[in-house]
Structure 1
Amino acid sequence: MKQRESSPSIGLPLTISIIAVSFAAIFVKWSDAPASILSMYRMWFASLLMIPIVWKNRGEFKKIENKDWFYLFFSGTFLAMHFVLWFGSLKLTTVASSTIILSLQPLVSLVGGFWLFKERTTLPALLTMGMAIVGATMIGWGDWALSKEAIIGDLLSFLSVIAVVGYLFIGQSTVKKVLHWIYSFCVFFFASIVLTIYNLCTGAAFGGYRAEEWGIFLLLAIVPTIAHVINNWLLNYVNATTISMSILGEPVGATLLAVLLLSEHLVGWQIVGGILVLFGVFFFLIQQKKALPLNEAIKENTHSTLEKEIK
């Protein structure tokens, strides 16, 4: 197993991650390609772009045990499901409207983290999480729609939340065993394969797209995918709930970009909501840093107990 390094400052990497991932919704809105095709080419291009780094660190593949390949495959499958479901939801609803559902991600992650890893958090952290979720809801509420199409989009968005939380939980356990570059490449590669099989089964067109579409595929592979690489690296030091909470900053960035690039409009409560999200995420990260020693102690105690039972 890879030796755990001392925790670096995570503020700047998280900020870069939030800015990068905020562009995803904009690129999807610009594209006329099916959601599954967007997802597939994003993953294939991302995998190809990573080959030079992966080749340089190819010795890391020897550290991957047989059982870990199983986890890597399912992590890639969950990521593929997330992209197809979320991109599909964006085809049916507005960028801002999707934030109401996406804001549930830290809650789903918090429940899963407690159930799977016995992770604890503090009351102040829960309160700041609530503040950010309220803020995200305020951002999306103005464009909330009740049409049949929008409801289907909201359902797809919620399913995408479950998928991405599953992807993060697998990463939380597996990325510590191998260099994060290799982990990200393997996950992206398996996601590419899963998406290719899905598109073959559904009869989606693999070609015939305009040059602008191929440019969007490449932009998706570079800009927002950087956020996934950064988050996979951060899973060495923080849990999936912290990553999920930081992603609440995405609605703020995506909504601002939608105003600038898609001519969408902001109203007063959306601005207030954005401020609440930023403050909520900032103070949550501070509280989680305080809770980290407690969670590490619980994990160490659980590990020691299991070793005694085995003996």
Structure 2
Amino acid sequence: MKKILNVGDNDVSKQYIPYIAILIGVLSVSTAAVLVKLAGDVPSAVTANYRLLFASLLLLPYVWFKKRDELKRLAGREWVLTIIAGISLAIHFIVWFESFQYTSVASSVVIVTLQPIFAFLGTYFFFHEKFSAGTIISMLIAIFGSIIIAWGDFQIANEALYGDFLAFLGAIFITIYFLLGQGVRTKISVMSYTFIAYGIGAIVIIFYNLLMDYSLVGYQPNQWIIFIALAIVPTILGLNLLNWSLKWVSTSVISMGILFEPIGASILAFFILDEWITWSQWLGGMIVIFGLLLFIASTRRTRRMKITIDHS
């Protein structure tokens, strides 16, 4: 009797493991923005370069020994889509990381979190997904919240509004990355797909840095530690935990969990970077998150595409 009870207790406790993984995953991806700012005077594109480069190198042994056959099965069209997806990911990181030079962590992360709306718009045009009244209302609420943030930042400085615009571009390009990868990820695992996309993205940003005459060497030891931390904590640990959780919980749960990334990032920015949150960021951020929660609730039954969280 005692043995049966213990087994039942273990089964119950295992049910919480995916949610613990989601919590750790969200906390991990929340560190990305703060780590980028801690890199100091390093050009944003260089920071983005090493994040993708080190992440792809860390994935290389696993993909090489475990997933080589998947890569061999990819057709030419799928390679083209993955390459374009990697280019989109590179642009996303360049403009998003650059946004931190002009606006706050809170504003940038909240605005880039609008990505699910762009993803749904993409599925509407490419996959003929239907709009419901609740979807339209929730999108308008989220967009209204972002307008409040942008207006408040504009009152502070024109350059803050420019940073918000860069974050907005970041949300668009990460959406393109997801849409292009949708078909490819039915053929190969997440690990293989991200390995290719990260590698392509790193190569693209290397050429961008050479074009802009940004040095890829000569940085301080603490800055190299930040590059490695970006590859490990928000990229490998955070994203893999969230993707692993998809086996046990619905995409809606993951999407709702990731909406708390702006909160985690803002708290970290307050304590580590001494960034205070303005009233417009508080109000606009809460409205955006509320709108996105409604959006996810209204679309979870009809969406065909899994909205993942590789932006962080």
TM-score range, shorter chain: 0.7 to 0.9
Distance change in 2, residues 1:268/1:155 (3 Å): closer
Distance change in 2, residues 1:259/1:228 (3 Å): same
Structure 1: unaligned runs, 5 residues or longer: 1-8, 297-311
Report if aligned partners of 1:100, 1:137 keep a CA contact under 8 Å in 2.
no
Inter-partner Cα distance in structure 1 for 2:107 and 2:281: 11
* Residue in structure 2 matched with residue 161 of structure 1 by the alignment: 171
Using the TM superposition, give the Cα deviation of residue 104 of structure 1 relative to its aligned residue in structure 2, in angstroms.
4.1
Alignment of 1:169-184 (within 5 A): 169-184=179-194
* Residue in structure 1 matched with residue 274 of structure 2 by the alignment: 263
Q: Deviations over 1:109-149 (max 9, x none)?
A: 22222001112243334444544555566667654556343
Report if aligned partners of 1:19, 1:253 keep a CA contact under 8 Å in 2.
yes
1:201 aligns with 2:211: yes
1:46 aligns with 2:28: no
Using the TM superposition, give the Cα deviation of residue 152 of structure 1 relative to its aligned residue in structure 2, in angstroms.
3.1
Distance change in 2, residues 1:140/1:265 (3 Å): farther
Report if aligned partners of 2:106, 2:277 keep a CA contact under 8 Å in 1.
no
Report if aligned partners of 1:76, 1:190 keep a CA contact under 8 Å in 2.
yes
Q: So what's the TM-score if we normalise by structure 1?
A: 0.77
Report if aligned partners of 2:150, 2:164 keep a CA contact under 8 Å in 1.
no
1:82 aligns with 2:109: no
Inter-partner Cα distance in structure 2 for 1:209 and 1:160: 26
Aligned equivalent of 2:132, options 122, 140, 144: 122
Report if aligned partners of 1:184, 1:232 keep a CA contact under 8 Å in 2.
no
* Residue in structure 2 matched with residue 211 of structure 1 by the alignment: 221
Report if aligned partners of 2:109, 2:262 keep a CA contact under 8 Å in 1.
yes
Q: Bigger CA drift: 191-200 or 91-100?
A: 91-100
Structure 2: unaligned runs, 5 residues or longer: 1-16, 306-312
Distance change in 2, residues 1:50/1:221 (3 Å): same
Q: So what's the TM-score if we normalise by structure 2?
A: 0.77
Using the TM superposition, give the Cα deviation of residue 252 of structure 1 relative to its aligned residue in structure 2, in angstroms.
1.9
Distance change in 2, residues 1:14/1:169 (3 Å): farther
Report if aligned partners of 1:249, 1:281 keep a CA contact under 8 Å in 2.
no
Q: Deviations over 1:160-204 (max 9, x none)?
A: 222111001112221111011111111111111111111122211
Q: What percentage of aligned pairs have identical amino acids?
A: 37
1:62 aligns with 2:72: yes
Q: Deviations over 1:10-39 (max 9, x none)?
A: 876655543322211101111121011101
Report if aligned partners of 1:93, 1:149 keep a CA contact under 8 Å in 2.
yes
Inter-partner Cα distance in structure 2 for 1:269 and 1:41: 33
Inter-partner Cα distance in structure 2 for 1:234 and 1:66: 31
